[in-house]
Amino acid sequence: MPIPFQWIGLLATAAIWVVMFALGLMLGREQIVAAMQRRVVLAAAIFAVVVPVPALAVIVVKVFGITGSVAAGIVLMAISPGAPVALRRALEAGGDRAFAPALHLAIVALAVVTVPVTLVILDWIFAKDFSVTPLHIAKQVFFAQLLPLALGAALRASYPALASRIEAPLGRAGNLLLALMAAMVLVDLPPLVRMVGWVPTVAGVGITAASLAVGAACAWRDAAVRPAVAIAAAMRNPGLALVIATLNAAPPAVTAAVIGYALGLGLTVVVYLQWRKRYRAPAGATT
């Protein structure tokens, strides 16, 4: 029996809040310093997130003749940056613990401007009437990400010992909630596949793999931040994509396509994280 999307949404909200609050516990002045020290890399990373990834999605749907709800779901995911779990994944990949949070915050904050602008361009390319305002984006990123991050940072500033003590347990709790959410999505996978097929998932795998390479290239020779930039470029925000779909009264198949893309994205990032662990292991063994 399929699990209602509303239940998955509630669990996703709880998981994201716990994850973002736990990440907020590590935020401090060093993040601002790290961003200022790597201004060029920060700008290159934001460029990778905003320009090449949506362009890749447009190329994919045009070259392979993908149309309708499936194309809409793929493109909506590609233009929705700043996934709430992106920062956690960047740290798991070995990203710099000072630069990665600064990069994530910059991407989330700029989404208020970049997403509506991107939609205007896509409206011209696809001759669709996409409608979203900066206020819609601001609400989504504020309540889903910035608010829990700010609360975690405030707790760290006021009670640093407590923040250090609860950061790891909260991180584990967030990962557990995310695993439960993934399990619920897998339960719903057969009806989703029947609705839109495997095309969104395959597109999610391909575009994510290419995005990881683009992000890594934008980090250039700065190996310390390369994993964070790669993850930032590849990770997309399904919640934001669904907000845009809802505001445009998109059919259920668009939601299914967004979830299908997210599944392919998640699988690809898991493979990348495992590769990063193996890549880092020999270096750690020699120190």
Q: What is the pLDDT of residue 287?
A: 36
Q: What is the pLDDT of residue 88?
A: 82
Nearest residue to 200 (alpha-carbon basis) of 83, 81, 84, 70: 70
260 domain-assigned: yes
Task: Give me the number of domains the chain comprises.
Answer: 1
Who's near 108: CB < 8 A, 6+ residues apart? Answer: 81, 82, 141, 145, 146
27 domain-assigned: yes
Q: Tell me the C-alpha distance between 15 and 179, whole Å.
A: 9
Q: How far apart are the first and last CA of the chain?
A: 52
284 domain-assigned: no
Q: Structure pTM?
A: 0.83
281 domain-assigned: no
Q: Is the dihedral of CA 121, 126, 129, 130 positive or negative?
A: negative
- H or E element at residue 35: helix 29-37
Judge whether 253 and 70 are in contact, CB under 8 Å: yes
287 domain-assigned: no
153 domain-assigned: yes
213 domain-assigned: yes
Q: What is the pLDDT of residue 181?
A: 80
Residues of the chain under the 50 pLDDT cut: 283-287
Judge whether 172 and 179 are in contact, CB under 8 Å: no
Residue 98 belongs to what domain range? 5-276
Amino acid identity, position 205: V
DSSP states along 175-206: HHHHHHHHHHHHHTHHHHHHHH-SHHHHHHHH
Amino acid identity, position 67: T
| CATH number assigned to the domain comprising residue 160 | 1.20.1530.20
- Percent of the chain past pLDDT 70, that is, above it, reads 94
